[in-house]
Structure 1
Amino acid sequence: MSTTTSNHIGRKISRIRELRGMKQETLAEAMGISQQSISQIEQSETVEDEKLEKVAEALGVTKEGIKNFSEEAVFNIIGNTVTNNDNAAFFNNYPTFNPLEKLMEAVEENKKLYERLLKAEQEKNTYLEKLLSK
Protein backbone atom coordinates (compact mmCIF):
# COMPACT_ATOMS: atom_id res chain seq x y z
CA MET A 1 0.00 0.00 0.00
CA SER A 2 1.59 3.23 -1.13
CA THR A 3 0.29 6.28 0.67
CA THR A 4 2.33 8.90 -1.12
CA THR A 5 1.07 8.22 -4.64
CA SER A 6 -2.21 9.81 -3.62
CA ASN A 7 -2.49 13.53 -3.15
CA HIS A 8 -2.78 13.31 0.65
CA ILE A 9 -0.58 16.29 1.56
CA GLY A 10 -0.49 15.40 5.26
CA ARG A 11 0.98 11.96 4.57
CA LYS A 12 3.54 13.49 2.25
CA ILE A 13 4.56 15.96 4.96
CA SER A 14 4.81 13.11 7.46
CA ARG A 15 6.97 11.00 5.14
CA ILE A 16 9.30 13.89 4.27
CA ARG A 17 9.65 14.68 7.97
CA GLU A 18 10.52 11.03 8.70
CA LEU A 19 13.02 10.87 5.84
CA ARG A 20 14.69 13.99 7.25
CA GLY A 21 14.97 12.22 10.64
CA MET A 22 12.78 14.82 12.30
CA LYS A 23 10.21 14.22 15.04
CA GLN A 24 6.86 15.96 15.16
CA GLU A 25 8.04 17.89 18.23
CA THR A 26 11.06 19.22 16.36
CA LEU A 27 8.98 20.34 13.40
CA ALA A 28 6.44 21.92 15.73
CA GLU A 29 9.19 23.83 17.54
CA ALA A 30 10.65 25.05 14.25
CA MET A 31 7.23 26.33 13.23
CA GLY A 32 6.32 27.74 16.64
CA ILE A 33 3.22 25.55 17.05
CA SER A 34 2.27 22.53 19.13
CA GLN A 35 3.04 18.90 18.34
CA GLN A 36 -0.71 18.25 18.25
CA SER A 37 -1.03 20.82 15.46
CA ILE A 38 1.62 18.98 13.44
CA SER A 39 -0.29 15.74 14.02
CA GLN A 40 -3.46 17.37 12.71
CA ILE A 41 -1.64 18.73 9.66
CA GLU A 42 -0.24 15.27 8.90
CA GLN A 43 -3.73 13.76 9.13
CA SER A 44 -5.22 16.36 6.78
CA GLU A 45 -5.70 15.49 3.13
CA THR A 46 -5.30 19.13 2.15
CA VAL A 47 -3.36 21.98 3.74
CA GLU A 48 -3.84 25.68 3.05
CA ASP A 49 -1.05 27.25 0.98
CA GLU A 50 0.15 29.62 3.70
CA LYS A 51 0.51 26.80 6.24
CA LEU A 52 2.09 24.52 3.60
CA GLU A 53 4.66 27.22 2.87
CA LYS A 54 5.62 27.38 6.57
CA VAL A 55 5.85 23.57 6.80
CA ALA A 56 8.01 23.47 3.66
CA GLU A 57 10.35 26.11 5.06
CA ALA A 58 10.70 24.25 8.36
CA LEU A 59 11.42 20.98 6.51
CA GLY A 60 13.93 22.66 4.20
CA VAL A 61 12.00 21.86 1.01
CA THR A 62 9.76 23.79 -1.34
CA LYS A 63 5.99 23.83 -1.29
CA GLU A 64 6.03 22.23 -4.75
CA GLY A 65 8.44 19.61 -3.44
CA ILE A 66 5.85 18.55 -0.88
CA LYS A 67 3.01 18.56 -3.43
CA ASN A 68 5.02 16.51 -5.96
CA PHE A 69 6.66 14.16 -3.44
CA SER A 70 6.55 10.45 -4.17
CA GLU A 71 8.41 7.67 -2.41
CA GLU A 72 8.96 5.89 -5.70
CA ALA A 73 11.02 8.86 -6.91
CA VAL A 74 13.09 8.80 -3.70
CA PHE A 75 13.81 5.08 -4.10
CA ASN A 76 14.63 5.54 -7.79
CA ILE A 77 17.13 8.26 -6.92
CA ILE A 78 18.73 6.07 -4.25
CA GLY A 79 18.75 3.08 -6.59
CA ASN A 80 20.35 5.07 -9.38
CA THR A 81 23.05 6.66 -7.23
CA VAL A 82 24.19 3.57 -5.33
CA THR A 83 26.27 1.41 -7.62
CA ASN A 84 27.45 -1.10 -5.03
CA ASN A 85 25.02 -4.01 -4.68
CA ASP A 86 25.61 -4.46 -0.95
CA ASN A 87 25.05 -0.73 -0.25
CA ALA A 88 28.45 -0.53 1.41
CA ALA A 89 28.97 2.86 -0.23
CA PHE A 90 26.82 4.35 2.52
CA PHE A 91 29.35 3.23 5.12
CA ASN A 92 32.64 4.31 3.57
CA ASN A 93 33.98 6.53 6.30
CA TYR A 94 37.49 7.78 5.86
CA PRO A 95 39.26 9.85 8.51
CA THR A 96 39.93 13.47 7.63
CA PHE A 97 43.34 13.24 9.27
CA ASN A 98 46.38 11.02 8.92
CA PRO A 99 46.13 8.40 11.70
CA LEU A 100 49.90 7.86 11.71
CA GLU A 101 50.50 11.57 12.30
CA LYS A 102 48.06 11.51 15.21
CA LEU A 103 49.83 8.45 16.64
CA MET A 104 53.22 10.12 16.34
CA GLU A 105 51.84 13.26 18.02
CA ALA A 106 50.63 11.12 20.91
CA VAL A 107 54.05 9.40 21.15
CA GLU A 108 55.81 12.78 21.22
CA GLU A 109 53.44 14.06 23.90
CA ASN A 110 54.09 10.92 25.98
CA LYS A 111 57.84 11.49 25.63
CA LYS A 112 57.50 15.07 26.88
CA LEU A 113 55.38 13.94 29.82
CA TYR A 114 57.89 11.22 30.69
CA GLU A 115 60.78 13.69 30.52
CA ARG A 116 58.95 16.12 32.83
CA LEU A 117 58.17 13.31 35.26
CA LEU A 118 61.79 12.15 35.18
CA LYS A 119 63.05 15.69 35.81
CA ALA A 120 60.64 16.10 38.73
CA GLU A 121 61.85 12.82 40.24
CA GLN A 122 65.48 13.88 39.82
CA GLU A 123 64.79 17.19 41.55
CA LYS A 124 63.02 15.36 44.36
CA ASN A 125 65.97 12.98 44.76
CA THR A 126 68.43 15.88 44.81
CA TYR A 127 66.34 17.62 47.47
CA LEU A 128 66.15 14.45 49.60
CA GLU A 129 69.91 13.88 49.30
CA LYS A 130 70.52 17.44 50.53
CA LEU A 131 68.28 16.83 53.51
CA LEU A 132 70.03 13.58 54.39
CA SER A 133 73.52 15.06 54.11
CA LYS A 134 72.75 17.80 56.66
Structure 2
Amino acid sequence: MSTLTKPNHIGRKISRIRELRDMKQEALAQALGTNQQAISAMENSETIDDEKLVEVAKALGVTVEAIKNFSDEAAINYFNTFNDTKASQVNFGNSNNCTFNPLDKLMETVEENKKLYERLLQSEKDKIEYLEKLLKEK
Protein backbone atom coordinates (compact mmCIF):
# COMPACT_ATOMS: atom_id res chain seq x y z
CA MET A 1 0.00 0.00 0.00
CA SER A 2 1.35 3.43 -0.95
CA THR A 3 2.07 5.96 1.79
CA LEU A 4 1.75 8.87 -0.62
CA THR A 5 -1.17 11.23 -0.05
CA LYS A 6 -3.84 11.47 -2.70
CA PRO A 7 -3.26 14.69 -4.66
CA ASN A 8 -6.82 15.95 -4.02
CA HIS A 9 -6.92 15.24 -0.26
CA ILE A 10 -7.91 18.71 0.96
CA GLY A 11 -7.54 17.85 4.65
CA ARG A 12 -3.92 16.82 4.19
CA LYS A 13 -3.22 19.97 2.19
CA ILE A 14 -4.63 22.07 5.02
CA SER A 15 -2.47 20.15 7.48
CA ARG A 16 0.70 20.74 5.44
CA ILE A 17 -0.01 24.45 4.98
CA ARG A 18 -0.74 24.78 8.70
CA GLU A 19 2.57 23.06 9.49
CA LEU A 20 4.44 25.29 7.03
CA ARG A 21 2.87 28.32 8.72
CA ASP A 22 4.18 26.92 12.04
CA MET A 23 0.67 26.79 13.44
CA LYS A 24 -0.59 24.14 15.84
CA GLN A 25 -4.01 22.54 15.51
CA GLU A 26 -5.07 24.33 18.70
CA ALA A 27 -4.25 27.73 17.18
CA LEU A 28 -6.22 26.96 14.03
CA ALA A 29 -9.09 25.66 16.14
CA GLN A 30 -9.14 28.88 18.15
CA ALA A 31 -9.10 30.97 14.94
CA LEU A 32 -12.07 28.97 13.64
CA GLY A 33 -13.94 28.94 16.96
CA THR A 34 -13.80 25.17 17.35
CA ASN A 35 -11.65 22.59 19.13
CA GLN A 36 -8.50 20.66 18.27
CA GLN A 37 -10.40 17.40 17.72
CA ALA A 38 -12.53 19.06 15.01
CA ILE A 39 -9.37 20.29 13.27
CA SER A 40 -7.88 16.80 13.44
CA ALA A 41 -11.03 15.32 11.93
CA MET A 42 -11.07 17.99 9.21
CA GLU A 43 -7.41 17.31 8.33
CA ASN A 44 -8.25 13.61 7.98
CA SER A 45 -11.18 14.38 5.65
CA GLU A 46 -10.63 14.02 1.93
CA THR A 47 -13.19 16.73 1.14
CA ILE A 48 -14.41 19.86 2.93
CA ASP A 49 -17.37 22.02 2.01
CA ASP A 50 -16.55 25.31 0.29
CA GLU A 51 -17.89 27.51 3.09
CA LYS A 52 -15.63 25.84 5.65
CA LEU A 53 -12.71 25.96 3.21
CA VAL A 54 -13.08 29.75 2.91
CA GLU A 55 -12.94 30.08 6.72
CA VAL A 56 -9.88 27.81 6.93
CA ALA A 57 -8.11 29.72 4.15
CA LYS A 58 -8.73 33.01 5.95
CA ALA A 59 -7.46 31.59 9.26
CA LEU A 60 -4.32 30.25 7.55
CA GLY A 61 -3.76 33.51 5.68
CA VAL A 62 -3.89 31.90 2.24
CA THR A 63 -6.36 31.78 -0.62
CA VAL A 64 -8.78 28.94 -1.25
CA GLU A 65 -6.97 28.36 -4.55
CA ALA A 66 -3.66 28.03 -2.68
CA ILE A 67 -5.17 25.23 -0.59
CA LYS A 68 -6.76 23.48 -3.56
CA ASN A 69 -3.60 23.72 -5.67
CA PHE A 70 -1.13 23.01 -2.87
CA SER A 71 1.48 20.31 -3.33
CA ASP A 72 4.65 19.57 -1.38
CA GLU A 73 6.65 19.81 -4.58
CA ALA A 74 5.26 23.28 -5.33
CA ALA A 75 6.05 24.38 -1.77
CA ILE A 76 9.64 23.20 -2.08
CA ASN A 77 9.95 25.01 -5.41
CA TYR A 78 8.40 28.11 -3.84
CA PHE A 79 10.91 28.20 -1.01
CA ASN A 80 13.83 27.41 -3.31
CA THR A 81 13.00 30.13 -5.83
CA PHE A 82 11.93 33.27 -3.95
CA ASN A 83 12.66 35.53 -6.92
CA ASP A 84 10.97 33.36 -9.52
CA THR A 85 7.68 34.99 -10.55
CA LYS A 86 6.09 31.66 -11.43
CA ALA A 87 6.74 30.31 -7.93
CA SER A 88 5.50 33.50 -6.31
CA GLN A 89 2.06 32.91 -7.85
CA VAL A 90 1.51 30.37 -5.06
CA ASN A 91 0.19 32.77 -2.42
CA PHE A 92 1.05 31.82 1.14
CA GLY A 93 -0.10 35.18 2.46
CA ASN A 94 3.28 36.84 2.95
CA SER A 95 6.02 38.35 0.90
CA ASN A 96 9.55 37.29 1.75
CA ASN A 97 11.54 40.03 0.05
CA CYS A 98 14.61 40.80 2.13
CA THR A 99 15.54 44.50 1.80
CA PHE A 100 18.97 44.21 3.39
CA ASN A 101 21.93 41.88 3.38
CA PRO A 102 21.88 39.84 6.60
CA LEU A 103 25.68 39.50 6.54
CA ASP A 104 26.02 43.30 6.44
CA LYS A 105 23.75 43.55 9.48
CA LEU A 106 25.82 40.90 11.26
CA MET A 107 29.04 42.78 10.54
CA GLU A 108 27.48 46.04 11.80
CA THR A 109 26.64 44.23 15.03
CA VAL A 110 30.20 42.90 15.30
CA GLU A 111 31.58 46.42 14.86
CA GLU A 112 29.17 47.81 17.47
CA ASN A 113 30.24 45.09 19.91
CA LYS A 114 33.89 45.86 19.22
CA LYS A 115 33.33 49.57 19.98
CA LEU A 116 31.45 48.72 23.18
CA TYR A 117 34.27 46.41 24.25
CA GLU A 118 36.86 49.11 23.60
CA ARG A 119 34.85 51.60 25.66
CA LEU A 120 34.55 49.10 28.50
CA LEU A 121 38.27 48.38 28.33
CA GLN A 122 39.10 52.10 28.42
CA SER A 123 36.75 52.54 31.37
CA GLU A 124 38.56 49.78 33.26
CA LYS A 125 41.94 51.32 32.44
CA ASP A 126 40.73 54.69 33.73
CA LYS A 127 39.48 53.04 36.92
CA ILE A 128 42.81 51.29 37.48
CA GLU A 129 44.69 54.55 36.84
CA TYR A 130 42.49 56.37 39.34
CA LEU A 131 42.93 53.68 41.98
CA GLU A 132 46.73 53.70 41.50
CA LYS A 133 46.71 57.46 41.88
CA LEU A 134 44.77 57.13 45.16
CA LEU A 135 47.26 54.53 46.43
CA LYS A 136 50.27 56.76 45.64
CA GLU A 137 48.70 59.67 47.55
CA LYS A 138 48.51 57.57 50.75
* d(CA) in 2 for partners of 1:42, 1:63: 15
Cα shift at 1:106: 1.7
SS at match of 1:76: helix
Report the 3-state secondary structure (helix = DSSP H, G, I; strand = E; otherwise coil) of the residue aligned with 1:2.
coil
**1:3 maps to which residue?**
5
Write the letter of the residue equivalent to 2:113: K
Instruction: Identify if the C-alpha distance between structure 1 residues 117 and 50 changes in structure 2 by more than 3 Å, giving closer, same or farther.
Output: farther
Report the alpha carbon displacement of residue 12 of structure 1 after superposing the two structures with TM: 0.8
The structure with the largest helix share of the pair is 1
- TM-score by structure 2 length? 0.65
Q: Structure 2 CA distance, aligned partners of 1:101 and 1:11?
A: 47
Higher Rg: 1
Counterpart secondary structure, 1:22: coil
The alignment status of 1:109 with 2:120, answered yes or no, reads yes
| Residue-by-residue CA offset, 1:60-81 (whole Å, 9 max, x unaligned) | 1111111111222223334556
Query: 2:103 maps to what in 1?
Result: 94
Structure 1: runs of 5+ lacking an equivalent: 83-91, 130-134
RMSD: 3.0
Residue 86 of structure 1 corresponds to: none
Q: How many residues align?
A: 117
Q: Which runs of 5+ in 2 are unaligned?
A: 84-100
What residue number does 1:14 align with?
15
Identity %: 45
SS at structure 1 position matched to 2:103? coil
Cα shift at 1:39? 0.5
In 2, Cα distance between the equivalents of 1:123 and 1:26?
Answer: 64
1:16 CA drift (Å): 1.0
Q: TM-score, normalised by structure 1?
A: 0.66
Supply the distance in 2 between the matched residues of 1:44 and 1:117 (Cα, whole angstroms). 73
Alpha carbons of 1:80 and 1:105: their partners in 2 closer, same or farther (altered >3 Å)? Answer: closer
Query: What is the rounded CA distance, in whole Å, between the counterparts of 2:78 and 2:15 in structure 1?
Result: 20
